[in-house]
Structure 1
Amino acid sequence: MKNLSLVFRSLALPVLLLTLNAAGAQEKQPLRYVDAATLTVIGKSMPTPKLFQRVDTARYELWQPVKNYSAFSTGLAVVFRTDSRTIRARWKTGGYGLGHNMTAIARKGLDLYIERDGQWAYAGFGWPKGDNHDSALVEYMDEGEKTCLVYLPLWDEVLSLELGIDGDSRIEAVPNPFRHRIVVLGSSITHGASAGRPGMTWTARLARRMGLDFLNLGYSGQCKLQPEFARMLAEMDADAFVFDAFSNPSAGEIEERLDAFVATVRKAHPSTPLIFIQTEVRETVNFNLRARKFESDKRAAAEAGVRRLMKDDRNIYFIDSRGMIGTDHLGTVDGSHPSDQGFMYMTRHLEPQLRKIFRKYGIR
């Protein structure tokens, strides 16, 4: 009996080694890389000379840092279908530094979601290293085709992007999974500060939840109802405009600029809904009396201005922001910019109100 056991062991060992070698060969097969430009790039508000930027900077008289921000890949994503068990990426960014209130992944990294049972499920991220990046997004997946969505960096320019897949697998472009065109102009809150990953901004979250194409035109610290922004929007195709336009300007700037800003956009888009979101109630005002007065004044000016315009224009809307980033003091990173939890509160606050407005215009 002892000898028979030894025979079985001697036979089983080669089989086990063959199995392990086959698994290892499958895991270690060489990857092939494809240029992401051959796939579907979504989130763009207009054609641009460089594919991975959101606004053509040569078309408008932009100032710094708006010109730089326009070349960022904020809100852009690549959509494709593949049967690969591995997804890897190589990408180059433009050399912008890291900030004090954001993760490196949000600023320069990638964020992968895969469609599962009709929902977008988080699948992995691209870890940035300097400005020449090479990172696995996900490995060891099940076999079968998957529809993938890779969000690009929020706070840098993407100079090139290649996606790596198993050498014997397929990859192909697929149509934009999101419907309509919702153009969002806003502050750093829209730009994505301080989301943990590129796909965690409020615009990206609402796109995945609502199936609508939210185009992110967030300009950190620079969105002050300037006429150049109005002229830019006037030239864009949109089913609706959403504005996070009251976070950056003072009360005086709102009173001085709001009417002309709306008039320029309205002339080009006579009946398109213009939806203004009141700026959040910042945590920075909890004890700072000077900040409290500044924020209170501009909130009052914003609401008074929009509600006055609403009397003569039934396609203008105002969304109150009370409670928008929660009331538990966990909604921001620095008192102003939402944490991922704050962005969750924000999407829950905005989604039902936006759905109600959009339904009036057949946007669903």
Structure 2
Amino acid sequence: MPDQPKPINAIKLDSNMSIKKNGDDSLKWLSPLEAPFQIAGFAWLDHEKKYRRLPSSPKDPLPPAVDALANCTAGGQIRFITNSSNLSIRVKLTGPADMYHMPATGQCGFDCYLGEPGNQHFLSTTSFDHLKSEYEALLYNWKTKREFCVTLNFPLYQGVEEVLIGVDEDAHIISAPQYASKNPIVIYGTSITQGGCATRPGMAYTNILSRSIPLEFINLGFSGSGRGEAEVARTVADIPNPALLVLDYEANSGTVEEIASTLPSFIRILRERHPIVPIIVISKIHYSGDRFYQDMLRLHEDRKEIQKTTVERLRSEGDRNIHFVDGFTLLGEEDAEECTVDGVHPTDLGFKRMAQSLEPIFRELLKEWL
């Protein structure tokens, strides 16, 4: 019997794939919950001191799935300036990586961008044992002091119980530049909004947009659970002084009759608290199955028509600050199916195209804030 091939361990064969450990015992470890660090993306952080996207005890009890997914830290960012020669991070997650179609780096990792808002550049992603729920990772080591504005993006599909930032003992930490306005952009939606299935956190479309639009982004995407419930709408409406509200939940909305019921109600609840804030309703992106399954395409076209006509009706009734965007156009016309992992969830390419398509629309509606 011929010898069986031995398992291939790429990590041993390629040093670029190895887990990079810090190896520096002299660092001081700081909590980003303390000044001068700034944390964005968690609207209730100041009150609860938790890395959670919705309140722990909302006025209206949340659907159980939404309540659980609110612990995923999608859209969260740590922002600061430091001259440390070494930047490391310690993370305690609520669980390990466990998704078959999304890299552990996107589900459970942090990634690091350097540069001022509008001029940020990707440097590194945490490397760690994906079977474990705690890790320490090196983000950079210059061997000499160099000052940078740092943005660290939180994991997309896992909760974070604790995070600590490791810097040189004598390094200084100062506040990152302020946003153009304190008014955030709030985006409610589905697994795609949450960032499934980006390879790393910075490639979720809300995070991509945050690098070109200097405002705080609050990501309220709930995987499989963006259903437009009234109790969720009331909780979203509690976020004070938004600059822009975005509804991107068609993919989870159910039947045509269900979205015809939930969408006007969701908008009405938002309008009760925010009567003139711009609202964008985005229909679902193109799925690969839309080309081959006629029933699927018909459902998507019918739900899109509900969203479009709802917006048109509200505009005709005097709400000139509500707008519709056809999600089928966001990935491009020719090869949209090449932009997903599984026919549904975008790759990094898909998220990049979504962000590029949405940026001019967002900018036009945010002119008074930018």
Matching residue of 1:65: 65
Equivalent in 261, 268, 289 of residue 263 of structure 1: 268
Aligned: 1:332 with 2:340: yes
Contact 1:242 1:277 in 2 (8 A): yes
- Structure 1 residue 245, shift from structure 2 partner: 2.2
Contact 1:125 1:138 in 2 (8 A): no
Q: Distance in 1 between matches of 2:111 and 2:80?
A: 14
Q: Which amino acid aligns with 1:169?
A: A
SS of 1:330's equivalent in the other structure is helix
Matching residue of 1:316: 322
- Structure 1 residue 81, shift from structure 2 partner: 1.3
SS of 2:304's equivalent in the other structure is helix
Q: Distance in 1 between matches of 2:180 and 2:226?
A: 26
Q: Distance in 1 between matches of 2:165 and 2:51?
A: 14
Write the mapping of 1:246-325 to structure 2, written as runs, cut at 5 A. 246-249=250-253, 250-312=255-317, 313-325=319-331
- Structure 1 residue 207, shift from structure 2 partner: 1.1
- Structure 1 residue 187, shift from structure 2 partner: 0.9
Matching residue of 1:193: 196
Q: Which moved more, 1:321-330 or 1:148-157?
A: 321-330
Distance 1:167 1:354, change over 3 A: same
Aligned: 1:229 with 2:232: yes
Question: Structure 1, unaligned stretches of length 5 or more?
Answer: 1-26
SS of 2:163's equivalent in the other structure is strand
SS of 2:39's equivalent in the other structure is strand
Matching residue of 1:34: 30
Q: Give the paired residue count.
A: 336
Q: Distance in 1 between matches of 2:143 and 2:339?
A: 34
- Structure 1 residue 101, shift from structure 2 partner: 2.0
Matching residue of 2:41: 43
- Structure 1 residue 210, shift from structure 2 partner: 1.6
Q: Which moved more, 1:114-123 or 1:99-108?
A: 114-123
SS of 2:246's equivalent in the other structure is strand
Equivalent in 130, 133, 140 of residue 131 of structure 1: 133
- Structure 1 residue 294, shift from structure 2 partner: 2.2
Q: Distance in 2 between matches of 1:176 and 1:45?
A: 16
Q: Deviations over 1:64-92 (max 9, x none)?
A: 22111112211111111111111111110
Q: Distance in 2 between matches of 1:117 and 1:173?
A: 13
Contact 1:86 1:141 in 2 (8 A): yes
Q: Which amino acid aligns with 2:194?
A: H
Matching residue of 1:166: 168
Matching residue of 1:17: none
SS of 2:121's equivalent in the other structure is strand
SS of 1:229's equivalent in the other structure is helix
Q: Which amino acid aligns with 1:297?
A: D
**Percent pairwise identity:** 28
Q: Which amino acid aligns with 2:358?
A: L
Q: Which amino acid aligns with 1:317?
A: H
Q: Distance in 1 between matches of 2:53 and 2:265?
A: 25
Contact 2:118 2:212 in 1 (8 A): no
Q: Deviations over 1:230-265 (max 9, x none)?
A: 111221111221111212113111112222221111
Q: CA RMSD in A?
A: 2.0
Q: Distance in 1 between matches of 2:327 and 2:251?
A: 11
Structure with the higher fraction of residues in helix conformation: 1
Q: Which is higher, the Rg of structure 1 or of structure 2? A: 1
Q: Deviations over 1:290-327 (max 9, x none)?
A: 32222222222222222222211111111122331123
SS of 2:281's equivalent in the other structure is strand
Matching residue of 2:4: none
Q: Distance in 2 between matches of 1:201 and 1:338?
A: 9
Q: Distance in 2 between matches of 1:61 and 1:206?
A: 31
Q: Distance in 2 between matches of 1:363 and 1:173?
A: 21
Equivalent in 171, 186, 206 of residue 203 of structure 1: 206
- Structure 1 residue 127, shift from structure 2 partner: 2.1
Q: Which amino acid aligns with 1:245?
A: Y
Q: Deviations over 1:181-216 (max 9, x none)?
A: 111111111100011111111111111112122211
Q: Distance in 1 between matches of 2:346 and 2:200?
A: 12
